[in-house]
Structure 1
Amino acid sequence: MAEYLEASWSAAWDAPSKRNRRGGVYRPYVPDRLTGGSVLVSPDIAQVAAKAETLVQRLTAHSASHGVDGLARFLLRSEAIASSRIEGLQTSPQQVALAELAAHEAGVSRGFTATAALVANNVTALRRAVTELVGVEAVATADIVALHTALLPEEKHHGLREVQNWVGGGDWHPLDAEFVPPPPELVRPLMDDLVSYINTAEHAPLIQAALAHAQFETIHPFTDGNGRVGRALVHTILTRRGLTPHAVLPISLVLLTRSDAYVDGLTAYRHGRDRHSAEARQGTDAWLRVFLAATTTAVEQAKRFADELDELHVEWLERHRRFRQSQGLRSVPRADSAVARLLNLLPAAPLVTARTVQCLLSVTHPAARQALEELAGAGILHPKQVERNTRGYLAREIFELLTLTERRLASTRWDTRESPPGRIVPARPQR
């Protein structure tokens, strides 16, 4: 049964102030196990989840002419940036693209910040969450630990925590904390139970992702970086269950905007009662409503983003057609040509070099360079010097769409014309 324990904290006589030197009683929370059919979902919540899953499936089948896979990878970048913003890291999508480029192409080492490199690492870790973890036969606690290491490579304390941690309050003791997770000796068995639940199909995919996320955040198994790993687990579960095989939803952006509801939902989930009691069911339902509402909003905004990408692609095709005609070329290139294939790849790779294109399309360096120059001549790509001997090509309109989407998702009404962004976001693109 879930319960609040009572534990004693010894005074720290080397603390810098009398308030920090205090000792006393604190109450760590121990959640119920998730396995064994202990979590019951109300029928009305199950109906809400079913409707939300239908919306996700429709998004996955979006008929973007440039390919849903490209949209998925772009949303993956957006979600990674969102996760990092939750952790207080501020950087532009262009900076992250430069950092990604540097990570995969020798000779590109400047033009981006250390923060951008951290966010780019978050992109890599999220890719791992929806690829490697999806591919394993059964997720193990060791896999979650490895994901944490990938997300926070510079973290001093890798592995499951062996100390008591807490959320909120001061740094010296948990007496004023907003929430105190389970004692360290219970972390391993609770994590083993969590991964056992992840490997089942006891609940529908969205319900399972929501419960696993809340349980992970409640266990708080690492000394730092729990938020990032917890959000990555959401995508792992949804992809393992086949709900989002080609798309990653920007759920983190929605939860960031609805941070008060998010915290309230997690607090309700930590009910401290027998799982089958009325209070426990109400608490679980309250959290599931928050998560499902965030999912629905994320789908709606992702679809709007996909529609805008579709419209931009149509505009690009017309712009490209006019440019080719002005150069005395046939108006539409061959479908298998480097330039036509590159045009379809830009939503997934909005910053490229000739070497990047050469690898992506398996073409010669001259063919890659010619395709880039042609799209630059059409006003679709914009040259950007990233190193002395390396010229990048930037699809500015893609980054503008991402910026506008981030700004909308920072508005409590999901529309900056009705309410301004409620947090730091990129400036509105200048035309």
Structure 2
Amino acid sequence: MHRPPPGQYVTLSTADEPYQAFVPAPLPPVPPLAWTPALRRRFDDALVALGRLDAITALLPNAALLLYSFVRKEAVLSSQIEGTQSSLADLLLFEIDEQPGVPLDDAHEVSRYVAALERGLALLRGGLPLCSRLLCEMHAVLLDHPRGRGKAPGEIRSSAVWIGGSRPGNAAFVPPPVDALPACIAAFERFLNDDPEATSPLLKAALAHVQFQTIHPFLDGNGRIGRLLIVLQLVADGVLREPLLYPSLFFKTHRSLYYELLNEVRLRGDWERWLDFFAEGVQASAAQALVTAHALLALVNADRDRIATLGRAASSALVVHQALQRQPLATSTALVKAAGLTAATVNKSLGHLSALGIVAELTQRQRGRVFSYRRYVELLNADLPPAAA
């Protein structure tokens, strides 16, 4: 179904030429969405997949350890969509003050995504609703790195931006002008908080993502904040207890279509194709996350059984093994702190884990050795495309 564009174009001009900026109409869409049986099934399948993923939070005793790694997968993937080249291993190395295989700025930028999500969750769980203040605080954290500090971190933009092209006059898309931002953001906040009417959580997440990207309230980082908003919305509305979903894997795999469908909403009001794509992405991402979760937990349980054969050494080795699930690339010094054991005990345990083939040393040096929970890292990376893909 094709509608008029869900908003209006306003004509503006620079010193050299006129151009048109798009101001989106408030959500929900008017006229109402056309819910075909196929689209309803797509949303039903997505909700079932999310329910299964969320269930592992309660059913599996160590599922919380997955959160550390899954949040970092989403950070890497969302940042790769924007052009950074950091892999998951690069991020994990950066977090333990080791040299990643990419420029430090790339790894630093991805690490701020993790910090921004943690900040948003803390504010949400502290009672702040999803609102511009929460998004601005996340944005301030996201852009707290050398490349971002000159791009007004934490502030709604006070100048025009455009997407594609060298200037507004030849851009592929120009978001709302500065004077339209307060009304756009106020209406967006009301929609997020079910004012004037409630919207089902998954539909709300789908619509809000497009609207946020269209408003483009910041000078930089809009794509990453917009993708963070998907998972935060699902947590805020109780669909997920923890942000275990990493939807950017689907968006990165289908990046051209992702951008095309966002644009089709703005140009032709084609919400239904976007909704179908979004729900398919959520279903696929949730199903993949569940497969990865079960594979990781099966590995952990099998390795725990092997460690139990160590006899008296098993107790300390299990504590180190537990620490490695939270941080699968770690220095021996970091493991001493995480495990609460002496350096001598940790090093003996690492020797046992290495002999069992569970842990591999990545460095050949006497001090500051880096160890990898090898198969755990391999499973985490199994569904990740190359950074440059």
Interval of TM-score (by shorter of Structure 1 and Structure 2): 0.7 to 0.9
* Aligned counterparts of 2:366 and 2:108: Cα–Cα separation in 1: 20
Q: 1:128 to 1:371 in 2, by over 3 A?
A: farther
Report how far residue 318 of structure 1 moved: 4.7
Aligned residue number for residue 23 of structure 2: 30
Q: 1:220 to 1:365 in 2, by over 3 A?
A: same
Aligned residue number for residue 145 of structure 1: 136
Q: 1:387 to 1:3 in 2, by over 3 A?
A: farther
CA deviations on 1:378-426 (whole Å, 9 max, x unpaired) are: 221122349873222211222222332103xx7xxxxxxxxxxxx735x
* Aligned counterparts of 1:256 and 1:320: Cα–Cα separation in 2: 38
* Aligned counterparts of 1:366 and 1:136: Cα–Cα separation in 2: 44
SS in 1 for 2:159: coil
Matches within 5 A, 1:314-393: 314-321=301-308, 324=310, 329=311, 333=314, 337-385=315-363, 389-393=367-371
The answer to whether the Cα contact below 8 Å between 2:317 and 2:352 also exists between their aligned partners in 1 is: yes
Aligned residue number for residue 214 of structure 1: 210
For the pair 1:131 / 2:131, whether they are aligned, the reply is no
Report how far residue 249 of structure 1 moved: 1.6
TM-score (norm 1): 0.78
* Aligned counterparts of 2:199 and 2:229: Cα–Cα separation in 1: 16
Structure holding more helix per residue: 2
Q: 1:386 to 1:245 in 2, by over 3 A?
A: farther
* Aligned counterparts of 1:373 and 1:239: Cα–Cα separation in 2: 41
AA aligned opposite 2:12: A
CA deviations on 1:251-283 (whole Å, 9 max, x unpaired) are: 1121111123212321232257xxxxxxx4xx2
For the pair 1:2 / 2:7, whether they are aligned, the reply is yes
CA deviations on 1:350-370 (whole Å, 9 max, x unpaired) are: 012344334334444444444
Aligned residue number for residue 161 of structure 2: 165
**Structure 2: stretches of 5+ with no match in the other structure:** 1-5
For the pair 1:266 / 2:259, whether they are aligned, the reply is no
CA deviations on 1:89-115 (whole Å, 9 max, x unpaired) are: 11232221111122xxxxxx6456412
- For these two proteins, the number of residue pairs brought into alignment is 372
AA aligned opposite 2:198: E
Report how far residue 345 of structure 1 moved: 4.3
Q: 1:193 to 1:353 in 2, by over 3 A?
A: same
* Aligned counterparts of 1:300 and 1:350: Cα–Cα separation in 2: 23
The answer to whether the Cα contact below 8 Å between 1:129 and 1:235 also exists between their aligned partners in 2 is: no
Q: 1:360 to 1:132 in 2, by over 3 A?
A: farther
RMSD between aligned alpha carbons? 2.8
* Aligned counterparts of 1:369 and 1:40: Cα–Cα separation in 2: 63
Q: 1:310 to 1:357 in 2, by over 3 A?
A: same
The answer to whether the Cα contact below 8 Å between 1:71 and 1:247 also exists between their aligned partners in 2 is: no
Report how far residue 295 of structure 1 moved: 0.7
AA aligned opposite 2:207: L
The answer to whether the Cα contact below 8 Å between 1:66 and 1:345 also exists between their aligned partners in 2 is: no
Report how far residue 164 of structure 1 moved: 1.4
Q: 1:151 to 1:386 in 2, by over 3 A?
A: farther
* Aligned counterparts of 1:75 and 1:363: Cα–Cα separation in 2: 27
Aligned residue number for residue 174 of structure 1: 168
* Aligned counterparts of 1:293 and 1:207: Cα–Cα separation in 2: 12
**Structure 1: stretches of 5+ with no match in the other structure:** 12-22, 103-108, 273-279, 411-422, 426-431
The answer to whether the Cα contact below 8 Å between 1:29 and 1:180 also exists between their aligned partners in 2 is: yes
CA deviations on 1:299-329 (whole Å, 9 max, x unpaired) are: 122122123213322442354355x2xxxx2
SS in 2 for 1:27: strand
* Aligned counterparts of 1:53 and 1:145: Cα–Cα separation in 2: 29
Q: 1:368 to 1:142 in 2, by over 3 A?
A: same
